[in-house]
Amino acid sequence: MTIENILQQNRQHFKFELLHEDKHTRARAGIIHTPHGDIPTPVFMPVGTHGAIKALQPRELIDLNIPIILSNTYHLYLTPGPELIKKAGGLHKFMAWPRAILTDSGGFQVFSLQKKSIKEEGAEFKNLEGKTVLLSPEISIMTQESLGSDIMMAFDECIPYPATKPYVEKSLARTHRWLDRCIKAWTRPECSIFGIIQGGTYDEYRKICVEEVCARDLPGYAIGGVSVGEGPDLMEKAVSYTAPLMPKDRPRYVMGVGHPQDLLMIWEHGIDMSDCIIPTKYARGGTLYTTRGRVRIRHRNYRRDFYPIDPSCDCYVCKNFSRAYLKHLFDSNEILAAILATTHNIAFYRSMAQNARKAILEDRFTQFKKDFLTHYGNETRSDDALQED
């Protein structure tokens, strides 16, 4: 089957519908139609690296009305392996998740390893048994198709920060060659490929990459290489410059961004999708998100605090449990602590995206962002939690 035929058939399985653009910003609301359901945008995707959202069952995510989750090709490739998951009927059946799944290509995980070798063939690294493993564009796509991902990410090199111009130029050329190999390896039209735009902190290279990647006419596109230590200002610079260059009729995805302030920023610049481990990883450490900022529930001040985590939240946790009880669970090292904290944090992020969407449809995103930040307050953001979940 030719790539032209695959792209034509893919349009029967995957479609982005742009519903409205805010009159005062670039923020936009839409719907992504996938084989496993529709996804209202903007959307935040919880991360289930190994095919599971830590501390939650799939039915709890359904109760929270989560339309899509993210899993990781690198980890699932190593264990249990694509052959086993394919034999089980694909990742949806394997993990009993009936809604959409996006899979990362594995590139970020490989390139974050200290010991790896980047070659034209792909990336070589050692697994836990010390065996040398090659992850190539072809293997990444083959694995993602075995998983049955609704959205597959192209295999690319995640450019670190800082990076010199010669490094970025060489890396981009290889990423574009790898993208063509990913497309050539694509055989399942129901599994959509998103291309990834790199370029570091250099506008000229971001522009070159947009032109190269978007020339492939893929179902969607992502901005990669942000939230890698460059800080909020340079992140916004990259997103605000790159997003308007991307096609308006395709989903726009910023990879690995998860602080509430940063979500507001990317949505304001017209981004539709994002993911991050922050809400789930922070939850297991006792950090809970509220409309008034983060609550570190282990603090002694909450020992006799019988208010809900967030009085304005309507999630199951806030309706039924107090801060004092959550602190008690964490102090007692109870598994329920992680379950309830994760449930609340995912509900907070879901509500944030839903409220942003409503504000966009009503042309009041600027006021929504201002009101949110006024109540949420200022806090230091760190990328320390972003390495692995």
Catalytic residues: 104, 275
Counts of helices then strands in the chain (DSSP H, E): 16, 16
SS3 at position 69: strand
- The residues that bridge with 288 in the sheet, in sequence order, are 295
Cα separation values, 192 from 33, 158, 188, Å: 11, 20, 8
State how far the Cα of 144 lies from the Cα of 141, in Å rounded to an integer: 5
User: What distance in Å separates the CA atoms of residue 272 and residue 32, rounded to the nearest whole number?
Assistant: 9
Token code pair at residue 147: 């998983």
Of the candidates 276, 214, 264, the one whose C-alpha atom is nearest the C-alpha of residue 239 is 264
Strand order in the sheet with 132-135: 116-118, 123-126, 132-135
Quote the crossing angle between the two packed helices 137-147 and 165-185, to the nearest 10°: 50
Q: Could you give phi then psi for residue 80, rounded to 5 degrees?
A: -85, 0
What span, in angstroms and rounded, lies between the C-alpha atoms of 137 and 134?
Answer: 10
Place of tokens 């208010």: 307
Integer Cα distance of 357 and 20 in angstroms? 10
